[in-house]
Amino acid sequence: MKKSFLLLFLLIIFICTFIGNISPVSANSQIEPKSFIAPDGESYVFDLKWGSYGTLNDELSSPIDLAVDTSGNIWATDSGNNRIIKFDSSGNFLLTVGATGAGPGQLNAPQSVDVDSGGNIWVADYNNGRVQKLNSSGQQICQIAGLSQPVGVAVDRNTGNVFVSNNGTDNIIKLDSTCAIIGVWGGPGSGKGQFNNPHSVAVDNACNVYVADYSNYRIQKFDCNGGFITMWGVGGSGDSRFTLSPEFNGPLGIEVDPAGDVFVVDHLNHRIQKFKNDGTFITTWGWYGAGNGQFNYPWGVAIDGQGRVYIADRDNHRIQRFSPSNTNQTQLYKGRWGSYGSADGQFYNPHGTVTDRFGNVYVAELSNNRIQEFDSNGVFLRKWGTTGAANGQFSGPHGITIDNTGNIYVIEYYNHRIQKFDSTGVFLMGIGHGTVWSAPTPAPPATSGTGNGWFKNPTDVA
């Protein structure tokens, strides 16, 4: 009994000391953005946002896609609430259509939305396996059922034809205005005209069709009948100004402006990239976070007649609007560094990040089982950790934070524990498995639990 009380007492002291020394910096802290010189003065600045998590008229739950109608109103797929919401261009609520279900006009996880020249709404009704055409009041006009995970829909306002990305069969389906199929192309693969998890679709004024080929990390361009024209993109997180080919990590949303330029939502890189219609890079903006101009797994994009860009910021449950800048320099995104791999300065599933008072950046890599430290410009400084359960080893490092004296705390998903290190990576202390230990005491076996001092798959620390 005395031993149990002593253990509990030590745990309380450790936790209180831990909390008292933690700085206000969280595991997703950001360093200051750096200026970016956009070619030809192509810059975009944040000017408006609206929405928060919830079910009220002006609230959102995982907004997926956006469309702008001929009057400049914004239509958003509020996927988590199984509805479509109409806003004016300033974010004021106008109306909502749809409700949960499988009947006419009902929705189940709607993904993509577009509006035709007559004001009718086309919706990719994902879990119902169909695309619905609704009037502006939400009443069904027609539908095409029996689809396999439809995720993208785009209307050619010149012809009234509609293009659908059918994710489950890796192809594109062309419909006429009555919901009848008039063309199909694609199929699974990585060759020209093939797809691997195709998502959003966009159509330009010449009826060229652009497809965000998500798991092939590229954009493909076709003519109106599915004839392959060109493609661009490779997997990665690099700065597309300096790479041999533009880099994407899960391109999801895509839209074409009246000038024919292509906007791509780079979902897992939390940024927007803009290209000419041949894939030539123009500009980029955004990085991970919840502040203005930051994104948390963005999805859809729409552009109005004034050239303003609207982004469905999915996991921030909001919509952001950006306007073209009159200058050729704006704070668009942080300095970026890294690429896929295990060498110094490369990453494989980076999760938590934190900065110290000197601006150095620490990154917890879930799949490389290590911590890397960089200066504020992205120059590699040091790393520590290998795969395992001993002191200083990791299995799924997830969250990371820092205290006022510069000590680093790392939370491990698979080892069910927290480790404390000095700023150079020397192990100091651990907590978990019902105990607290310090160097040179070996770490206890990596087991999970629910009692005092136990963790089960912890993910964050602050």
Residues 180 and 197 in one domain: yes
Residue 444 lies in a domain: no
Q: Same structural domain for residues 186 and 67?
A: yes
Whole domain around residue 202: which residue ranges?
6-295
- For residue 462, the model assigns a pLDDT of 61
Amino acid at 79: S
Token pair listed for 172 = 């594109």
Specify the pLDDT at position 461: 65
Residue 150 falls within a domain, yes or no? yes
- For residue 452, give the amino acid letter: N
Specify the amino acid at residue 54.
Answer: G
Task: Answer yes or no: do 219 and 360 share one domain.
Answer: no
Residue 432's φ and ψ, nearest 5 degrees, are: 145, 170
CB 86 within 8 A of CB 95: yes
- 74 with 194, same domain: the answer is yes
pLDDT at 42: 65
Q: What is the 3-state secondary structure (H, E, C) of the chain?
A: CHHHHHHHHHHHHHHHHHHHHECCCCCECCCCCEEEECHHHCCEEEEEEECCECCCCCCECCEEEEEECCCCCEEEEEHHHCEEEEECCCCCEEEEECCECCCCCCECCEEEEEECCCCCEEEEEHHHCEEEEECCCCCEEEEECCCCCEEEEEECCCCCCEEEEEHHHCEEEEECCCCCEEEEEECECCCCCCECCEEEEEECCCCCEEEEEHHHCEEEEECCCCCEEEEECEECCCCCCCCCCCEECCEEEEEECCCCCEEEEEHHHCEEEEECCCCCEEEEECCECCCCCCECCEEEEEECCCCCEEEEEHHHCEEEEEEECCCCEEEEECCCCCCECCCCCCECCEEEEEECCCCCEEEEECCCCEEEEECCCCCEEEEECCECCCCCCECCEEEEEEECCCCEEEEECCCCEEEEECCCCCEEEEEECCEEEECCCCCCCCCCCCCCCCCCCCCCCC
Same domain, 278 and 353: no
Please check whether residues 145 and 255 belong to one and the same domain: yes
What is the distance between the alpha carbons of residues 237 and 270, in angstroms, rounded to a whole number?
A: 10
Q: Domain for residue 247, yes or no?
A: yes
Q: Note whether residue 176 is domain-resident.
A: yes
My answer on whether 225 and 164 are in the same domain is: yes
- Work out the pLDDT band at 336, boundaries 50, 70, 90: low
pTM of the model: 0.67
Please report which confidence band the pLDDT of residue 333 belongs to, taking 50, 70 and 90 as the band edges: very low
- Do 251 and 327 belong to one domain? no
Checking if the pLDDT of 25 tops 60, the result is no
Do 310 and 238 share a domain, yes or no? no
Of the residues 244, 274, 295, which one is the last residue of a structural domain? 295
Tell which residue, 439, 434, 440, 441, has the closest CA to residue 417. 434
- What per-residue confidence (pLDDT) applies to 15? 43
Residue 247 pLDDT level (bands cut at 50, 70, 90): very high
Residue 372: what pLDDT? 93
Q: How far apart are CA 231 and CA 211, in angstroms?
A: 9
Please indicate, yes or no, whether residues 243 and 354 belong to a single structural domain of this protein: no
pLDDT digits (tens, 9 = 90+) for 295-325: 999 999 999 988 999 999 999 899 999 988 7
Contact partners, residue 297, CB within 8 Å, separation at least 6: 267, 268, 270, 314, 315
Place of tokens 């739950």: 61
Query: Pick from 150, 178, 151, 160: which is nearest to 119 by CA?
Result: 160
Rounded Cα distance, 422 and 124, in Å: 51
Mean pLDDT value across residues 411-440: 93
pLDDT in the model for residue 298: 95
Task: Give the model confidence (pLDDT) of 47-84 as tens digits.
Answer: 889 999 999 998 999 999 999 999 999 999 999 999 99
Amino acid at 238: G
Count of domains for the chain: 2
**C-alpha angle with apex 461: 460 to 462, nearest 5 degrees?**
130
pLDDT digits over 366-376, tens only? Answer: 899 999 998 87
Of 208 and 433, the one with more pLDDT: 208
Whether 118 and 106 have beta carbons less than 8 Å apart is answered as no
Q: Is residue 96 part of a domain?
A: yes
CB within 8 Å of 191: residues ≥ 6 apart: none
Residue 355 lies in a domain: yes
| 333 and 312 assigned to the same domain | yes
Residues 158-164: what's their mean pLDDT?
Answer: 97
Q: Is residue 108 part of a domain?
A: yes
For residues 231 and 210, give the distance between their C-alpha atoms in angstroms, rounded to a whole number: 9
Confirm if 412 and 421 have CB atoms less than 8 A apart: no
Q: In b/e form, how buried is each residue of 350-362, taking b as 16+ CB within 10 angstroms?
A: bbbbbbbeeebbb
Report if residue 460 sits inside a domain: no
Statement: residue 28 has pLDDT above 50: no
One domain, residues 256 and 321: no
Q: What is the pLDDT of residues 406-424, one digit of tens each?
A: 899 999 999 999 999 999 9
Q: What is the pLDDT of residues 254-296, one digit of tens each?
A: 999 999 999 999 999 999 999 999 999 999 999 888 888 899 9
Domain boundary among 295, 312, 330: 295
Question: Which of the two residues, 404 and 235, has the higher pLDDT score?
Answer: 235
Beta bridge partners of 272: 265, 285
More confident residue, 250 or 45: 250
pLDDT exceeds cutoff 60 at 38:
no
Q: Looking at the predicted structure, is the pLDDT value of residue 20 above 50? A: no
Among 264, 295, 326, residue at a domain's last position: 295
Instruction: Give the CATH number, domain containing residue 81.
Output: 2.120.10.30
Could you tell me the two tokens for 440? 């040179």
